[in-house]
Amino acid sequence: MANNREIVVTGGGTGIGYAVASAFAQAGERVTITGRREKVLTEAATLAGARPVVFDAADPAAVEAALEELPGGVDVLVNNAGGNTDLLDGDGDGEEGLAGFAAAFERNLRSNVVSAALVTHALRDRLAEGARIITIGSIAAHTGAGSYGAAKAAVEGWNVSVAREFGSRGITANVVAPGLIGETEFFHGKLSDRRRDRLIGNTMNQRAGTPDDVVAVVTFLASPAAGHVTGQVVHVNGGAYLGN
């Protein structure tokens, strides 16, 4: 992996995003992490050796306001911000019926698709020749998980357009789609032992993934060696889903 590049990792305060940011920083890269929670992000940046920029990646005004704090040139953009908003306590807006269903559906779309699209579009003119765009997807795009699965499926379709848009500049765009990954806050304490055992049982190697499993694929896709890999979805799930 080349070093001394400018790396931006959205949702870099915890879990996969933090692990990715930390790996880049340890390799000597200049890393900026973003997120909504100032305290979490600041502490993570100190531990990882990164620079924090606090904003909500799904909010156009917040992204616009944060641009002056983001690097003027970007070599690697990792769109990691997102998650299943249906698992967040207190994230509802009190609406019921179809209005409530639509609002919940739209929250997942904003959190996972709109966030990646907004940040990528905002940084489009700052992306260096030969830059790398890597977006974190999910096995849920193929195995289903309500609006979250739909959002991650949309990420894959959007990624193809991004790869085509930036390809003439030598910029690649790929999705890394994890299955069950331990050591993250993704499930917010709502993963039962029974479901965890079932998800592990679906794998061929009979274990949950780790953030480092995802880091290994992200860092490869960010490397000069991956210059002819673009528009792809790389599955990191122990064989729980076999990508085409």
DSSP conformational letter for 86: G
Using alpha carbons, select from 234, 231, 218, 235 the residue that is nearest to residue 21: 218
Which residues are known to be catalytic? 148
Measured between its terminal Cα atoms, the distance across the chain in Å is 27
Q: How far apart are CA 52 and CA 137, in angstroms?
A: 23
CA distances from 81 to 29, 94, 115, 150 (A): 20, 24, 7, 16
Locate 161 and state its tokens: 């357009």
CB 138 within 8 A of CB 149: yes
